[in-house]
Structure 1
Amino acid sequence: MPEQSTRRQYPTRPESVAQVRTQVRELLASRGIEPHGNESAENAVLVASELAGNAVCHASSSGSYSVTLELHGGILAISVRDTEIETPPQWPTLGDAGATTGRGMFLVDALARDWGCAHKGEGKVVWAELLIDRERP
């Protein structure tokens, strides 16, 4: 059982990504983990933002996506479920140096201790796990 968890539904609109960042900060703060100045907590906010941004970018604009956060000791699990069937690349790359998009999963891969994707019903869940320092470094 997670010591703390939260699940929220969001519309597939760009402004919802900021709400996801707030969701992560609120969960961490509820456990006494101040995200500002804590590199691992800031990384969790960034990873959640990237996963939510992908849901907004690739899922149906008339739909929604959900974000589930589960804190198990020093591990934060972030799951984003959307209605898009296409999965992210298993081995993300930096892509074209001139591109303005396409680096999100590279960041997730670099910052998360593990991540993956699974088909669920008429969509998918992309998840990541990060180690969270409870102390400010």
Structure 2
Amino acid sequence: MLSDSRPVIQANELPYQRDQFYRRDRRSVPAARRFAVWSLHYWGLGGWRRAEDVSLCVSELATNALVHGVPPGRGFLLRVRYDGRTVRVEVHDSGTGTGTPRIPDEGDEPGEGGRGLFLVSALSDKWGVGERNPGKVVWAEFTEP
């Protein structure tokens, strides 16, 4: 499925889930963000106070995947799930990177990048990293009050 096409929808079961694959391309980040926002709107969460947090975190996680986890010729998978209480976003990359994403330590020199996981940590209720072969899954969760 191309990144701009509409996914097949089955809205009668929980959890709701949308998966979309993106190529290694700078246009994939805004496309992933639009896809996440579209999913939230479809589930009736467009006006949810945390919708912007979800959108921003998708941008950060997708950017990190493109910069650090997606080799040339490959891409990443964005998964957005909603179980009636929690929205979970996952970015699955296919890289062979050896490091686990981490928030830089206070003593680390701030470079041009490196602040994305600070935002993810601050805006989400939980986030983490899981193994995948090849690559990894970086996820963030947002729970309704």
Normalised TM-score (structure 2): 0.80
Q: How does 1:37-48 map to 2 (within 5 A)?
A: 38-48=48-58
Please name the residue that 1:75 is paired with. 86
User: What is the number of residues matched between the two proteins?
Assistant: 129
For residue 108 of structure 1, give the secondary structure of its aligned residue in structure 2. Answer: helix
Greater relative contact order (Cα < 8 A, sep 6+): 1
For residue 32 of structure 1, give the secondary structure of its aligned residue in structure 2. Answer: coil
Normalised TM-score (structure 1): 0.84
Q: Give the C-alpha shift of residue 132 in structure 1.
A: 4.5
Q: Give the C-alpha shift of residue 3 in structure 1.
A: 3.3
Greater per-residue strand proportion = 1
Question: C-alpha separation between the residues in 2 aligned to 1:107 and 1:113?
Answer: 11
Question: C-alpha separation between the residues in 2 aligned to 1:6 and 1:92?
Answer: 31
**Taking structure 1 as reference, are residues 130 and 83 closer, same or farther at Cα in structure 2, changes over 3 Å only?**
same
Q: Give the C-alpha shift of residue 5 in structure 1.
A: 0.9
Q: Give the C-alpha shift of residue 16 in structure 1.
A: 0.3
When the two chains are superposed, the root-mean-square deviation of aligned CA atoms in Å is: 1.9
One-letter code aligned to 1:77: R
Question: C-alpha separation between the residues in 1 aligned to 2:114 and 2:44?
Answer: 34
For residue 50 of structure 2, give the secondary structure of its aligned residue in structure 1. Answer: helix
Please name the residue that 1:88 is paired with. 101
Q: Give the C-alpha shift of residue 121 in structure 1.
A: 1.0
Please name the residue that 1:128 is paired with. 140
Deviations 1:30-76 (A, max 9, x none): 122225xx441100000111000001111213211101010111311
Instruction: Identify unmatched segments of 5+ residues in structure 2.
Output: 1-12
Q: Give the C-alpha shift of residue 80 in structure 1.
A: 0.5
Deviations 1:8-28 (A, max 9, x none): 110111110001111111111
